[in-house]
Amino acid sequence: MKIGIVVPYSWSFWGGVVDHADQQSQALRDLGLDVRLVLGNDPPGSFTRLLHPSLGRHDEPPAGVIAVGRTVIVPANGTLPNIVLSPPALLRLRRVFERERFDVLHVHEPMTPALGVGALALWDGPCVATFHASGALGWMHLGNRLWGFLAERIDRRIAVSEEARASVEPFLPGHYDIVPNGVLVPDRADASGRLDRVVFIGRHEPRKGMHVLLRAWPEIHRRSGARLRLVGADPLAVRLVLSRARVREDGIDVLGVLPDEELTRELLAAKVLVAPSLGGESFGMVLTRAFACAIPVVASDIPGYRGVVADDTGVLVPPGDTRALADAVVGVLRNDPRRAAMGAAARELAVDRYGWEHVASELVQIYDAVAGRQEVVV
């Protein structure tokens, strides 16, 4: 079976949906499927690359990735995604469909122009779509009026969580399969014997809550002696946030964006991951990434995280509460037997529920159904 995966964003910049689609492609290939990932690309030196606050990737897209156009920054849902909007990209997308002759098309965020919407308009075969976003989705009020009718071309709708389903269902009523984001699971991960490190993974966007963690950090560092490892945020932006919060850099290591292999090594060495997001999270891929590496989490008590974190895998705190955040992180660090037990439980959950082998198998069953035009039983 040959699968085309369409993402309306840019390969050049890391993000939840892009990372998910990239890992999905590899997981499906591991199961024997022929897969192409179709999305935008902004190589170093392009104008969009100069404008974007993130560093982005510096390598060329690998084999199996088909770039169809440059992107522009469009603020949405508290973040700054790079979205393909150029009309020539739709012509390239049409040529890709004609040349590749996919058996099934899988579109991520299908109501996002131009590639998501364009894929639904141009494709006339079996189609699966995944909805990731959560929150008010204000842009859908206009988008649904203009091109919401194209949702009728989707044979199976997937939401990555109940939160994502609840966000999109008022605009596009119908049945949604809940298939969570997959996670890379290392072959081995020992919850004991870790370094005194706390990890944060995320861009320097207000909704990710990095500023909340940095305000809480002096107290955490004073009481625990741990080091904070910041992954994913631009170093200059981190220093600006530190300056605004009047927080010194004591005990803080700014690592920037890390490739998957280096991120895994970082997680395998740390004791706890902190996810202080303020909202707008439909799932929390950073949480399951930590779980796979046998790390418990301290996370904000928001809907998207509440469905992932259990009492034996992490601690939830009120979003934006620096005192509660500091107390929770220090509490996990000071009780190492409890921390190790939570890490082991988190690892077991990641393997059983979120490992890509299981998630990809669920997707293949859906592809088989739509390719055979089987009806969904609701």
Q: Which domains does the chain have, with CATH numbers?
A: 2-182+355-371 (3.40.50.2000), 197-354 (3.40.50.2000)
Predicted pLDDT of residue 355? 94
Task: Characterize the bridge pairing of strands 104-108 and 177-178.
Answer: unpaired
Q: How far apart are CA 187 and CA 292, in angstroms?
A: 9
**∠208-133-183 over CA atoms, to 5°?**
75
The rounded radius of gyration (Å) of the Cα atoms in the chain is 21
Query: How far is the CA of 323 from the CAs of 194, 239, 354, in angstroms?
Result: 25, 22, 31
The string of pLDDT tens digits covering residues 165-181 is 999 999 999 999 999 99
Q: How far apart are CA 70 and CA 82, in angstroms?
A: 9
Q: How far apart are CA 164 and CA 157, in angstroms?
A: 12
* φ, ψ dihedrals at 277, nearest 5°: -55, 150
CB 75 within 8 A of CB 47: no
Nearby residues of 87 by Cβ (< 8 Å), 6 or more positions away? 114
* Nearest CA among 311, 317, 316, 319 for reference residue 338: 311
The string of pLDDT tens digits covering residues 221-265 is 999 999 999 998 888 888 888 888 888 889 999 998 888 899 999
Extract the residue ranges of the chain whose pLDDT is less than 50.
373, 375-378
Predicted pLDDT of residue 376? 45
Predicted pLDDT of residue 314? 97
**∠368-373-377 over CA atoms, to 5°?**
85
Residue owning tokens 């998630």: 359
**∠133-136-138 over CA atoms, to 5°?**
95
